[in-house]
Chain A
């Protein structure tokens, strides 16, 4: 599938930039994000990250990446997303960068989960993303600098709370 001249699936293979750090880049479309997540999971599995930890990382990164796709860039003009992953025995640190619109208020939303108490017809169909990211990460930080968004997600790999 293409959008004019843009290849919606374009994902660059992970590049090793240091011994324990890789960089992955993709165009900000849902299809490229899916391919990137599948590649990443294979990489993390190859590094012996447990299935539980891989699931936690994939769920949180899927939300962060799809936020960029849906909110940072215009749908008809998707820009680039770069993701650096640094893995140590105790922690996986993921830095996500894009040149799209800044987060409103320059902070990641912290509104909690949408209410599910009402009748069936009022159940939420969205608004779960940031809550999932906050629950699954041990640390979350955001910085807007020189027209670039920098969202950093850290995952503790050796705490009980990580095995949610």
Chain B
């Protein structure tokens, strides 16, 4: 699965460049996430703004990616589209993750 990673001093943003994290994609997503987060900063933000559909297998894969992080590291989510937000809400997983509407306020801007 195509994941694009941008690393900042204290955070990395992983953008999922795929429309679906479903049963057919769950294993590929988990494998790609393991590789993407290796040796990165403590805070990982998963940008789901291009993902229009997640099923329970995809949700499980996102939870697995969070559990795979070492103690002291965290996985936040950003950019949930309508149906993806619905799956998180109905499974109450929206109470487990910190979820940002979009990346705008997360990305550090150069100053001066």
B67 touches A120 (CB 8 A): yes
A64 to chain B, nearest CB (A): 11
Is B111 close to A, CB under 8 A? no
Interface string of A119-138 (1 = CB under 8 A from B): 01101111011011001100
B82 touches A69 (CB 8 A): no
B68 to chain A, nearest CB (A): 10
Residues of A within 8 A of B (CB): 30-31, 33-34, 37, 51-52, 55-56, 58-59, 62-63, 66, 69-70, 113, 116, 120-121, 123-126, 128-129, 131-132, 135-136, 164
Is B63 close to A, CB under 8 A? yes
- The distance in angstroms between the C-alpha atoms of A116 and B95, with both chains bound, is 9
B93 to chain A, nearest CB (A): 7
Residues of B within 8 A of A126 (CB): 56-57, 60
- The distance in angstroms between the C-alpha atoms of A123 and B69, with both chains bound, is 13
Known: A34-B24, A128-B59, A132-B91. 19 other contacts (CB 8 A): A30-B22, A33-B24, A56-B86, A58-B83, A62-B23, A62-B53, A63-B55, A63-B56, A66-B23, A66-B57, A113-B92, A116-B92, A121-B67, A124-B60, A124-B63, A126-B56, A126-B57, A129-B56, A136-B90
Residues of B within 8 A of A (CB): 20, 22-24, 53, 55-57, 59-61, 63-64, 66-67, 82-83, 86-87, 89-93, 95-96
Residues of B within 8 A of A58 (CB): 53, 83
- The distance in angstroms between the C-alpha atoms of A51 and B23, with both chains bound, is 22
A62 touches B22 (CB 8 A): yes
B83 touches A59 (CB 8 A): yes
A135 to chain B, nearest CB (A): 5
**Partner pick for B63 among A30, A56, A123, A129, CB 8 A cutoff:** A123
A59 touches B86 (CB 8 A): yes
